Amino acid sequence: METLFLCVIIFLFMLAVFDLSVGVSNDAVNFLNSAIGSRAASFKRVLIIASIGVFIGAAMSNGMMDIARHGIFRPEHFSFYDLVCIFMAVMVTDIILLDIFNSLGMPTSTTVSMVFELLGASFAVALIKMAGGTDLGLADLLNTEKAFSVILGIFLSVAIAFVFGTLVQFISRTIFTFNYKSRMKWKIGIFGGICITAIVYFLLIKGTKDLVFMTPEVKAWISDNTFLLITACFAASTLLMQGLHALGANVLKIIVLTGTFSLAVAFAGNDLVNFIGVPLSGLAAYQDYAANGGGNPSGHLMGVLNGPSQTPVWFLVGAGVIMVAALATSKKAHAVTKTEIGLGSSREGEEMFGSSGIARRLVRLSLNVINFFDRITPPRVRRWFDKRFNTDEAIMDQGAAFDLIRGSVNLVLAGTLIALGTSMKLPLSTTFVTFMVAMGSSLADRAWSRESAVFRITGVISVIGGWFLTAGAAFIGAGIIVALMHLGGIWVMFALAALTAFIIIRSNRRFRNRRKEEEGDTLFQTILSSGCQEQTWGLLNLYMSGHQQKFMAYACETFRGITEAFVNEDPRALAKAQKSLDLYKNILKNDRRKETLCLRLVSRPEAIAKSAAFHLANSCCMGILYNLRRINETCKEHTDNNFTPLPENYWTGFMELRTRMTILFNNTADMISAQAPEVAGNLRRQCDELKAFVDALSQKLYDGLREGDSGTMTVAYVYLNTLQETREIISTIRKYIRAYTLLQQ
């Protein structure tokens, strides 16, 4: 039995390696976002600086391990078997949850997941023990006071980070403006001094008590001379930053990279417990169990975990190595980075989220509040603030999502708040803090225009909703899994372990396949960052043509699939087509929005000249999609109800229509691919001939109805609807050909 439990502990550490890889995709990326978004340095350089911070922060994380040992439950009332079940359930649930969120490109919180998984699993085991006849209550089994303080700290950090992010960014922007280079002569030294001092105070002074090599005498000296150290640090860093500015160095980049370092340290010190705290606690429990001779695992209580953790440094350093390696290679990390940077970007671009009713109401309410303050604010004051917040003067590097002022505020403030929580032994969520600081600073920076606000707010709501969903799913999932393990025994643990490995492998395969499909949209980013109006229309025309050619091929395939399924009475194929059409509607809407953003970058005379044809081409594609949906709806309803199939005397004409429609779609796609508007005349004549053919088929149907040889009226209605919608598709293709010709002139 002891050997089996050793296998479980080993598997916990194997899951910890996966958890570090998956978790770093979700959390560690938070300390890279500001440096990447502001283009303070190359990704490689940022990664090197962050790696150093991770290693130093890992050495400071030992005290945080106590959260997993006795921060949620009271181990003296739990047996070794109870805790093995709890720890195994936590790791299995954590892996599954984090991998799901990262595959969706959504940042979630490893801190929230760990805390609520521990709470849910402990709660379930406590209920099992109480049902088994123990005299202990929930208050005796769970560390409710500490658990409440941890949970409260996590969720309060959302409001605190957002408020401070908004306030500090507003003050910083008011001082420096978007044209910050002209106002840095004497202000940059003080700004840099404050930033560096905040970093030193919270990371070195507040964190020294957890460094394994700090002696009590040194800690006491630092505590007694805190004010002196802070004053000296502020004076020295202010003079240093001012001197570097005088020598021509970009002080803001230094602050951003220093802030990246500080946030990496804060992350490792605060969040490393989320990844290895549970396996290390399991190892400590196993060592105590084995040292006492093994025996009955359900009778050996774990009061030993009430003592402070003494984690070997090589464990922490090894975890840091895995984190850095995963950060450098994880594609999922880059997907989560894209979410947060996109929501805080000063530029409009590809919006990852749609529009929600809550977001629309919030935007309307915000506009009403802004209009109210505009009315009561003296015009002189309003003009002064508008001048300070003139985004047209923004200074950003090529491809940056925001400037270095905002990047500095995001990093320094987030690192400060997280390090403060670490020093108070509260595992504040790195994701919560960094994300909400970034959202608050982007709000203060007026980064959300009326064109993008509803999408950005929807994204923020989606992310925050995901956090709360994480909490609920972690609590319930861990509770169910631990109950299965506790009641089913160690073989259930092994079965769930195998299931976890299978889920991880399958999820990673799906993610790789999806990423391959998304890597082809580089032309859109090229258009946004080109900066040359003369080249923009040519790039946009190429971008539009690619989408429209792809749509024509899709419409051709879908039309053939629907009509074939109708003739063959295949309801599954029609249901599949319905889902595909609904999905493609969102694709067309997203393409249209991105193309409209690109059109704004075209020179004004060119944009005006092409605007009508541009919108007509987009409308034609949406119209064809609508006609296909109408055909599919009636065919699906008819087939689902097992009504009379299409009479055989109409098959020949119907099949010829399918063939001629396929030729028309393919010829249109070939015209787009070859950029050959000269064939438009032939295609329009082909459309006219095909419409005449559809009219002939309709007339044949009417004649058959009069003679009573067309079957029931139900199938006649479906057939007639298909012919009418097909005729509309042909007319729309003809309009599209005209629009395409105008766009090429």
Report pLDDT digits (tens) over 173-230: 888 888 877 777 778 889 889 988 887 877 666 555 555 556 778 777 877 887 888 8
SS3 596: helix
Q: Report the range of poorest mean pLDDT among 41-50, 326-335, 369-378, 481-490.
A: 326-335
SS3 626: helix
Ordered structural domains, the chain, with CATH: 2-518 (no CATH), 523-744 (1.20.58.220)
Provide the CA 173 distance to its chain's centre, in angstroms: 27
The greatest distance separating any two alpha carbons of the chain, rounded to the nearest whole angstrom, comes to 107
- Per residue in 117-129, pLDDT tens? 888 999 999 998 8
- CB neighbour class for 396 (10 Å; exposed up to 12, middle 13-18, buried from 19): middle
Q: In the predicted model, is pLDDT for residue 413 greater than 90?
A: no
- State the Cα–Cα distance between residues 227 and 240, nearest whole angstrom: 20
- Per residue in 505-561, pLDDT tens? 776 676 666 555 554 466 776 776 666 667 788 888 888 888 899 999 999 999 999
Mean of pLDDT over the chain = 80
Q: In the predicted model, is pLDDT for residue 290 greater than 60?
A: yes
SS3 620: helix
pLDDT at 65: 65
Q: How many CA atoms lie within 13 A of 343 on its CB side?
A: 31
pLDDT at 712: 67
- The pair of structure tokens assigned to 94 is 């954590």
Residue 149's nearest CA partner among 266, 67, 206 is 67
- The pair of structure tokens assigned to 78 is 């739990």
Q: How many CA atoms lie within 13 A of 242 on its CB side?
A: 14
Interior/surface letters 506-517, b for 16+ CB within 10 angstroms, e for the rest: ebeeebeeeeee
* Cβ within 8 Å of residue 20, ≥6 positions away: 275, 276, 319, 322, 323, 326
Helix, strand, coil percentages for the chain (3-state, nearest 5): 80, 0, 15
